[in-house]
Amino acid sequence: MFCPQCNGTERHRETCSCGAIMRDAGPVADYYGPYSPYFSLAFEQPVCVHLFACPACGRDRRVTVNLIR
């Protein structure tokens, strides 16, 4: 299973409430610790949660991306 957003096969586009296009700041798991992306997904949902940040106003949002088998 893989994340299409992480692998660049799909691009999710998110718009902030202020109207600006948000940037993908990567998977939320990357912010938990140096080895967190490598933990087993056996007990997790088949999704990759990405953090999107607004360059205009600074808001952020978590976006769930379905993994592809």
The reported pLDDT for the residue numbered 36 is 58
The reported pLDDT for the residue numbered 43 is 53
**Lookup result for tokens 């948000």:** 22
The reported pLDDT for the residue numbered 34 is 67
Q: What is the pLDDT along the chain (69 residues), one digit of tens a residue?
A: 899 999 999 998 999 999 999 999 999 888 876 665 555 555 567 899 999 999 999 999 999 999 998
Contacts 24+ apart (CB under 8 A), 7-11: 9/68, 10/65
Q: Where are the domains of the chain?
A: 4-66
Helix (H) or strand (E) holding 49: strand 47-53
The reported pLDDT for the residue numbered 18 is 97
